[in-house]
Amino acid sequence: MSWLDRLKSGLTRSTSKLGDSLAGLATGSMPLDDARLDAIEEALIAADLGPAVAGRIRDRLADVKFAKGIDEAGLRAAVAAEVTAVMAPVAKALQVTAFPRPHVILVVGVNGSGKTTTIAKLARRFTEADYTVMLAAGDTFRAAAIAQLKIWAERIGVPVISGEQGADAAGLAFEALKAARAAGSDVLIIDTAGRLQNKAGLMDELAKMRRVIQKLSPAAPHDTVLVLDATTGQNALNQIEVFRDIAKVTGLVMTKLDGSARGGVLVAAAERFRLPIHAIGVGEGMDDLRPFTAEEFADALTGTS
C-alpha cells in the first residue's frame, strides 16, 4: 500500500466517526438555516475537532454561497478545506540544522505513548536520508525502556548509549552527547522519562538534562518533541499543555491514529497550540511514521479523497 492508502486506512475509524456525526446534516437544495448550522457545529465538536475549528467551519458554511444548500460531498469538502487551512502552517518535518553537529532531539511524552518506537522510526528515517544517528536511553526510570531502545537500535543498526536502571538521566545525556560528538554523529536522539504523576520531579530532571548538555552544546536540545497517543483523545490536549510548560516542547508527533476514532483531536491541537506537527503514525511498522502533510491528512480524515 502507498503511504496515502495506509493513511486513509489508518484513519478509517476517525473518518467514520466524523461521517456519522455529519450524517443527515447536508441539506441538498434546502438553504442552511441557523438550526442546521448549529447541528453541524455540534457534530464537528463531537468528532474531536474542537470548538474553535468547529466555529470556523460553521462560519464558512454560513457564507452566502451555500444559501442554496449543500450536499454531503460539499459538506465534507468544506470541512477538509478548513482543516487544511488550520494545519498547513504547522506541518513541518524535522530538519537537521545544527552546526557543529550533532543535532540534538529530546523526545518527551507519557509512558505508553509510543515514545520509544517513535524514536526508532525517526532514527530510521534519518539514516535513510544518509545522516548518522546515535540514541541515548535517557528514561533510566524504567529498565524496560532501556532494553526496548537497545533492541530497536540493534535492528536499525545505530549505536545507543545506556546505563543502569536508576542512573542519573542528565549524566547519561551528557555522556551521550560527548560520544556523539566524538563519533561525528549528525543526530543524537535522547529518550526521557514520562512520569506525569510527579510533575515536579520530571520538571527538575528535564531542566537538569538541558543544563548539562548545554555545557557542551549551548543551543541543545535543538528540538524537543512531544509524542502523543491518538487513542487518548482530548487528554492529548492536556498533555501538550503540561509538557509545553515543563519541557519547552517545540513540536509534536502523534502515534496510533489507526487505533483511534479520535484523530480529529490533532486538528484541535493545531488550532489551540500552533506547535509544529512533525510526523504522524498509523501502524507499528517502521514505515508507518511519516512527515505530516496537512492536505493529505484533511482529505483522509474527512473521506474526500
What gap in Å lies between CA 192 and CA 247, rounded to an integer?
A: 11
Residue identified by cell 486506512 is: 9
11 is in an annotated binding site: no
Q: What is the DSSP letter of 63?
A: S
215 is in an annotated binding site: no
What gap in Å lies between CA 220 and CA 215, rounded to an integer?
A: 9
279 is in an annotated binding site: no
Q: How many CB atoms lie within 10 A of CB 260?
A: 23
285 is in an annotated binding site: no
114 is in an annotated binding site: yes
115 is in an annotated binding site: yes
Strand bridging mode 251-255 / 277-281: parallel
Cβ-in-10-Å burial (0-12, 13-18, 19+) of 203 comes to middle
193 is in an annotated binding site: yes
255 is in an annotated binding site: yes
256 is in an annotated binding site: yes
What gap in Å lies between CA 243 and CA 14, rounded to an integer?
A: 25
Sign of CA dihedral 151, 134, 124, 92: positive
303 is in an annotated binding site: no
163 is in an annotated binding site: no
Distance, first Cα to last Cα, the chain: 15
84 is in an annotated binding site: no
194 is in an annotated binding site: yes
**Binding site for GTP: what residues are annotated?**
109-116, 191-195, 255-258
Q: Binding site: residue ranges?
A: 109-116, 191-195, 255-258
